[in-house]
Structure 1
């Protein structure tokens, strides 16, 4: 994709809408919608890198209640012709075809390469990548298995969604009660993942979420790892102007 002059590509991740409660997350949702409303005027494309919702599961005929402001704004943006891409996170990994059918937004379950203005990007949510975290990787294999999802569908949505939301907000980081801490490059699994990818192919940018911590780390003379932070405490996002990708903060107070 060649970005027209004056246009930009935007990246956002980790809103966790619905956590820890609808009432608490509603101001965050309104702020996110205000950001979408602001960037639609010069956006060439928008990338949402997962955990938009704190929990999402698509039954055959039911999706979780709420989030109409976000879904409506995304529909408006997409209907205007602006491409929107969604990468599932570990909290909304049970997405199927709802976004594709209702909003015309493609959904990706693995990192994917894109090229913008001759800059090569590797984009994804970031969970389960790199060395370590073996317990989560085993758990994820269970969660994404067709058999497990078939079993979960037998729960009435009122029970299934309520149980999943309860388990989700038990994590203090997700509920916003505890800040993520930078572990150092040698202990940041996504940094190690990016460095290993560079051993076999050249990239300009690696863009991920998941860590809830805004980070910009030079991996070599040309490649940079960017973690987008979150919309719980930081309200940070990525902006690519056709030449450089940088983190910015949305500071509008509603």
Structure 2
């Protein structure tokens, strides 16, 4: 694991940015290209005053790392991430349910640490719990069982025996068609009391205080108060909403990136 900064005092004029659920490659490379170009423009914008950038999973609709092979495509976004990281801006990546088979490519090639579960950070004395959000909270038992199978080292070892020309299209098809495998729910607001990531946040607050819970996965931009001084924010997505999070050292807000291609 790369060295990471868990505590940060944000300099005046700097901000921390959060993004999730781009699903690049869905429904296919051609149709996702405009979203990739728009996301690259966003990265160009935020790098001007970014203290750090957090990518909260499902950047790709499917990702698998063979020993010597990674999925074809995404050159523009990977190149931009490399450029930003090389400039000295830290980037953090949390795997989602669509790119949960990410291994060490980002760490070795781009110098970007990769996390497979939520992690705590402190910025300007505000505590954050950050993650993708899949498999957390009550319910979704079918997906939770499937996730254990998919993340099992033996399962990954077996899958690597499939030739990439077979394994990649198969996984991409299942990623789109099989909701049990993908873990995606219909993007409908369930009400503050029924949103399961909000319930997860409330449960976490029983043992420790957090100022902010930042997650993706639900594809819906939302703010829910989960404690007297605690908020749960969902980042939305880059398919329908093009929303992202910003922490300026004092407050957190969601914004929409309206730049046109």
Deviates most, 161-170 or 45-54: 161-170
State the alpha-carbon separation in 2 of the partners of residues 198 and 182 from structure 1. 22
State the alpha-carbon separation in 2 of the partners of residues 33 and 246 from structure 1. 21
Q: Secondary structure at the match of 1:251?
A: coil
Q: Which residue of 1 aligns with 2:142?
A: 135
Q: Which runs of 5+ in 2 are unaligned?
A: 1-7
Q: Which residue of 2 aligns with 1:146?
A: 153
- Which of 120, 123, 140 is the matching residue for 1:116? 123
What whole-Å deviation, never above 9, does each CA across 1:81-118 have from its counterpart, x for those lacking one? 00000000000001111000000000000000000000
State the alpha-carbon separation in 1 of the partners of residues 151 and 192 from structure 2. 29
Q: Which residue of 2 aligns with 1:158?
A: 165
CA RMSD for the aligned pairs?
1.3
Q: CA deviation at 1:179?
A: 6.3
Q: Which residue of 2 aligns with 1:28?
A: 35
Question: What is the TM-score with the length of structure 1 in the denominator?
Answer: 0.96
Q: Secondary structure at the match of 2:193?
A: helix
Q: Secondary structure at the match of 1:187?
A: coil
Are 2:205 and 1:198 aligned? yes
- Which of 73, 89, 103 is the matching residue for 1:96? 103
Aligned residue runs from structure 1 range 1-254, under 5 A: 1-170=8-177, 180-254=187-261
Q: Secondary structure at the match of 2:255?
A: strand
State the alpha-carbon separation in 1 of the partners of residues 228 and 79 from structure 2. 41
State the alpha-carbon separation in 2 of the partners of residues 179 and 139 from structure 1. 18
Q: CA deviation at 1:218?
A: 1.2
Q: Secondary structure at the match of 1:219?
A: strand
Q: Which runs of 5+ in 1 are unaligned?
A: none
Q: CA deviation at 1:170?
A: 1.7
Q: CA deviation at 1:219?
A: 1.3
State the alpha-carbon separation in 1 of the partners of residues 168 and 14 from structure 2. 39
For the 8 Å contact 2:18–2:55, the answer to whether it is kept is yes
Provide the aligned length of Structure 1 versus Structure 2: 250
State the alpha-carbon separation in 2 of the partners of residues 157 and 232 from structure 1. 27
State the alpha-carbon separation in 2 of the partners of residues 108 and 220 from structure 1. 26
Q: Secondary structure at the match of 1:45?
A: strand
Runs of 4+ displaced beyond 2 Å: none
Q: CA deviation at 1:72?
A: 0.2
